[in-house]
Amino acid sequence: MNVVPSFASIGALLGVPARANILAALIEGRALTATELALYAGVSPQTTSTHLAKLMDAGLITVEKHGRHRFFRLADPHIADILEPLSELVVHQPVPERRKSRAPMDLRPARICYDHLAGNLGVQVADALKGKGYLEPLGGDFRITDSGTAFFAKLDIDLAALARTRRVFARQCLDWSERRPHLGGVLGATLCDRFLDQGWIKRTRVPRQIIVLEPGERALKRLLGIKVA
């Protein structure tokens, strides 16, 4: 019997630059139209449609219809957790471009991986939560301690409600730039939303990049003992 490993088919999908660019654009967490994704892919709209169909058939992306418009997004947040580390798995190969991009370096301090905190900031937050005894590693996930339950309650995060969702609760996501885990899953996403809602962090014009605002610096130091550089 000739059985092809599943990662061989995934490798074939990602081996096409246009499809890799489409997935990279969707890691940001936004739903994008086929026209927008064609710009990221660098190919014609017709060719983009073919690539989108292949990615949908593989279960990597899904489509949502709103009126006459169709928006594409990753089929599951966990896909972003898998795709992001691939950017650092092998040495980057030179790709012809009109100007050199600083995006990878700009994203290292603080970024959003699909919908949760990543980069140096994300790892610092995860380390602080572990250091204060709020989270404990459990396999590939995190377990919430009793003191952690009290901590998240102070942030108005309903852990019981999050546990009822179908998404992974608190995953240890290996950060591609720090090579240490940050907090993913629905808890990581909710914590990131809380930081945004409180005005502690904000997005920049650079896709996925975030910066910590002054109120956030004070809050992170007070709550977790984190000193933002």
Give DSSP secondary structure letters for 199-227.
TSEEE-SSTTBEEE-HHHHHHHHHHH---
Exposed / middle / buried, residue 87 (Cβ in 10 Å: 0-12, 13-18, 19+): middle
| Phi, psi of 141, deg, nearest 5 | -120, -175
What CATH class is the domain 8-75?
mainly alpha
**What residues form DSSP beta bridges with 136?**
143
Q: Is the pTM of this model over 0.85?
A: no
Q: Over the stretch 94-123, which tens digit does the pLDDT of each residue have? A: 444 434 444 567 888 999 988 899 999 999
Answer for the pair 172, 185: CB distance below 8 angstroms, yes or no: no
Q: How sure is the predictor about 158, in pLDDT bands with cuts at 50, 70 and 90?
A: very high
CA-to-CA distance for 194 and 68, rounded, in angstroms?
33
CA-to-CA distance for 63 and 74, rounded, in angstroms?
9
Q: Over the stretch 134-146, which tens digit does the pLDDT of each residue have? A: 999 998 899 999 9
Domain ranges in the chain are 8-75, 104-224
